[in-house]
Structure 1
Amino acid sequence: MPVEVPEPPPMLLPPAELPRTQIIERNRHRYEDIHRLVDKRWTISAIARRLNLDRKTLHRFRDRDLDELPASARERRPNSVLEPFKAYLNSRCTEAQGQISGTRLFLEIQARGYRGSHQVVRKHLAALRAGTVEPVRADIPSPRKIASWIMRPRETLTESQDQRLLQVRLACPDITRACDLARAFADLVRHRRGNLLLEWIRQAEQDAPKPMQGFAGFLRLDLDAVTAGLTLLWSSGVVEGHVNRVKTLKRAMYGRASFELLRIRILTQP
């Protein structure tokens, strides 16, 4: 009879561990310090002061597992040198139905300012043909940038800025209406056309986005004063300037000098 050979015991693999890099070790120690203080019922503000960390960083370390932190760091890394040219490469490949050489595309984007290697372009094209490439994210301007384009006089915008603003307006009707009303109100301020304020308020209350409707409602509550401010040459700007100067002196001398010295500086400085 054949002798049965006992099966070897299953091999116990060591638990998966993160690589011992400097960033991983820093995250590990930071993760342990944060959770130790959280277990002691410290507040986020107290932990931020103790470890000298931002509150957003504390929330990320508190709410995620340790093995998720390196992945989140990779998600926040800056775009590659090819990132600004991916949209162009994708559109060119689509137009040519994939029948275009990588060398030609490399020369085309190099003429447009690409300073990377040919190998990076070849890898992207291979992933594009295989259908595994990630879609290119749209370059959406920030709300602050859109607001700056709207509030500046149109003649001061560059051609590209004016074109970007037009694309934003076409994509969002609310921004289109807000842009028209904001520019009309800026015209009232710059040229002191207070007599047209009431008509502007009526238009804003009728079909403007809700934030602008609320702004128009506040203007109506003190209509006479706002109309005077948009009509007369006089304003409280000079007084506000002196108030700002006095506050600046107070903050600069806080805890360092007496009231008499502060009084002298306020009265003598121009």
Structure 2
Amino acid sequence: MQKRLDGFRYPPGAENVYGNQNCNPNTVTHPDQQGQVRLGCGVGSRDAAALFSELAEQGYRGGMLTVRRFLHQFRGHRHVPQPGPRPFKPRHVTRWIMTRPDRLKDADRACLRQIRDRCPELDRTTEYVRAFAVMMTERQGSELEHWLTTIESDDLPALRSLAVGMRRDQDAITNGLTLPYSSGAVEGAVTRAKAIKRTMYGRANLDLLRKRILART
């Protein structure tokens, strides 16, 4: 969607991770040439309310406060800086991190490498995620203690909070990462019972529910 304001979400020289993404109708990005002239050359209105009305007519779904914040960076300047590339979407980065490295496409691997090079915290987080994935798929529960200790000594608040929660159930997690047993059969039975209950809601009593659950299908 073409916007009437210049798309410059980050100041020049900021160390951000960029990529070619689709336009978000809730952000003030991707101007047309007319929008650059209006802000960059001092022509037309710089009133936030008036510009917000124009944006709303073109499909903008954000709030006026976003427009005001966006305009604030241009106060006292006659020229609008050129728009920079937009950042990758978090869900894409999450998928790249959670995917096995040998299954990533070359383009996705290159994008993730670029992001990791620019963000040391995300680079270490990726290593922790992949180390845990190895423990889970190869049943290396004995490595959990070392994994938790390493995270606790690192400066990553979100992962340290995760480690605190895992410490409370460490024995159960270790068993889950080591033993071949699974609670999948129990969870499946519970899901089946809930599905049967929902189909009978308001139309049958407990006796019929019991028979349907015990009946083999």
- TM-score calculated relative to the size of structure 2: 0.63
Matched letter for residue 195 of structure 1: S
Segments of structure 2 that go 5 or more residues without pairing to the other structure are 1-25, 27-47, 62-78
Residue in 2 that maps onto 1:49: none
Q: CA deviation at 1:199?
A: 0.2
Equivalent residue for 1:219?
A: 166
Tell me the residue number matched to 1:149. 96
CA RMSD in angstroms comes to: 2.8
> Measured at CA, do residues 159 and 260 of structure 1 come closer, stay the same or move farther in structure 2, by a change above 3 Å?
same
Q: Secondary structure at 2:178's aligned position in 1?
A: coil
| Separation in 2, partners of 1:245, 1:183 | 33
CA drift of 1:269 comes to 4.3
Runs (4+) of structure 1 moved beyond 6 Å? 64-67
Alpha-carbon distance change, 65 to 253 in structure 1, aligned in 2, over 3 angstroms: farther
C-alpha distance in structure 1 between counterparts of 2:54 and 2:198, whole Å: 43
1:236 match? 183
Q: Name the CA shift for 1:135/1:65 in 2 (closer, same or farther; >3 Å).
A: closer
Deviations 1:47-106 (A, max 9, x none): xxxxxxxxx9xxxxxxx97994452342639xxxxxxxxxxxxxxxxxxxxxxxxxxxxx
Higher relative contact order (CA 8 A, sep 6+): 2
Question: Is the counterpart of residue 253 in structure 1 residue 200 in structure 2?
Answer: yes
One-letter amino acid matched to 1:203: T
Write the distance in 1 (CA, Å) between the matches of 2:88 and 2:214. 48
Q: Does 1:266 align with 2:213?
A: yes
For the pair shown, the structure with the greater C-alpha radius of gyration is: 1
The Cα of 1:251 is off from its aligned counterpart by 2.2
User: TM-score, normalized by length of structure 1?
Assistant: 0.51
* More helix, by proportion: 1
Quick check: 1:177–1:208 contact (8 Å CA) kept in 2? no
Q: Does 1:192 align with 2:139?
A: yes
Residue 60 (structure 2) aligns with: 76
Q: Distance in 2 between matches of 1:158 and 1:133?
A: 37
